[in-house]
Structure formats: structure tokens, C-alpha cells
Amino acid sequence: MAQKKNSSGKGSRGSNAFLALKTTGIFIAILWGIWAIDLINDTLRIFPDITQLGIYPRRLIALLGIFTSPFIHGGLFHLISNTIPLVFLGFTMLYFYRRTARDAIGIIVVGGGFLVWVFGRHAVHVGASLLIFGMATYLISSGLFRKRIGPIILAILVTLVYGTSLLWGLIPRTGPVSWEGHMSGALAGILAAWLYRKTEY
């Protein structure tokens, strides 16, 4: 009986890892596919500029951007700089918090996006940085709220890898970088971690 239970556990962990990797990979592929379509459209002008599907604060029609902005990037460098942390954080969150990850990501995207829509500068805000900052703060905050060794170790790891980038990205500044998106995503990630602090992970 003990051998059967251990074997099942290993299989379960393996299937969870595959599902987390698959889900993350599909999301990344969608981001790159949208960028490729946007690149072609820049030349052919088949339809309006796709970046208009981002978040434009306090415009009612731009509320749709809350859901579409994470899929849109301003250029190749912007997409590349977001891809690597998305792979690490996306897989980590989906694997270690498989019971709460999808709902938490929903809170990050919708809650964080709405904060950008309310408080952001008058500019089009695009990119998955909001989601990245939200996932990072979710993983860190979950360790603090849950006070259990597994989440705490994971929180320390994420802090060591992304702590400096998180702090730097939250500093208000002028320029093309949406620090409001970073801040909003981070706040939504903390909120999601608090809401699910007693939920089994």
C-alpha cells in the first residue's frame, strides 16, 4: 500500500509539472504569435494598430484593455524581457499553487488592470509586466501569510531572484515604462495572496 501511494504521488507531481509547463508554454506562444501578427500588420496595415487594445486610463471603451493588454507588447525587446520571468514565475506559480493559481492570476489581471485604468497616466499601457509583478508578489506574500516552510522557502527564492527588479520597477518615473502597471500588479498579487492565505495549495 505504501509503495502504491508513493508511486501515485510521483505520478501526480509529474503530471502537475507537465500541466504547469504546458500552460505556461501556450501562454508564451500566444504572446509571440500576437507580436508576429503585429509585426506583419505594421507593414501591411490590415487592421488598426494593435497596441490600441491596451489600457488607456479613464476611457470607458478602454476597459477592454484590462483583459487584452497583457497579450500586447511594444516591441521585440519588450517581449523578450517579459518572456523569461513569465516562464519562471508562471511555471512556479502553476506548479506550487495549482489549486489557487488560476483564480489568483485572474485577480491580478483584472484587479491590477483596473487600478491602472483608474490611476495610470494618460498613455496606452501594454505588456505582461503587470502579471509578472503580480505573480512575484503573490509568491512572496503567500510565504509570509501562510507561515509554512514550503511557501516561505519559495518566497525567499523568488525574492533572491527578482527582489531587486521588483523594487526598481515600482519606483515612479517618467518615460515609456509603466511603473503604474508594475505597482498595480504587485498590489493585486498581495491581495490575491491574502484572499487565498488559508486555501490549500
pLDDT digits (tens, 9 = 90+) for 88-116: 999 999 999 999 999 999 999 999 999 99
SS3 135: helix
**What is the reported pLDDT for 10?**
55
Structural domains in the chain (count): 1
Whether 85 maps to a domain, the answer reads: yes
Cβ(187)–Cβ(112) under 8 Å? Answer: yes
Q: How far apart are CA 130 and CA 116, in angstroms?
A: 9
**Domain-located, residue 39:** yes
CA torsion angle for 124, 182, 72, 121 (degrees, to 10)? Answer: 0
Question: Of how many residues is the chain composed?
Answer: 201
Residue 63 placed within a domain: yes
Per-residue model confidence as pLDDT tens digits over 50-84: 988 999 999 999 999 999 999 999 999 999 999 99
For 59, the 3-state DSSP assignment is coil
Q: What is the span of the domain harbouring residue 171? A: 2-195
CATH of the domain at 23: 1.20.1540.10
Angle between helix 76-96 and helix 2-44 axes, rounded to 10 deg: 160
* Residue 11 confidence (pLDDT): 58
User: Is residue 201 situated within a structural domain?
Assistant: no
Domain assignment of residue 33, yes or no: yes
In a domain, 19, yes or no: yes
Is residue 200 in some structural domain? no
126-167 pLDDT, tens per residue? 999 999 999 999 999 999 999 888 999 999 999 998 888 898
User: What's the confidence (pLDDT) of residue 4?
Assistant: 43
Average pLDDT of the residues of the chain: 92
Secondary structure (3-state) at 147? coil
The answer to whether residue 98 sits within a structural domain is yes
CA distance 192 to 41: 37
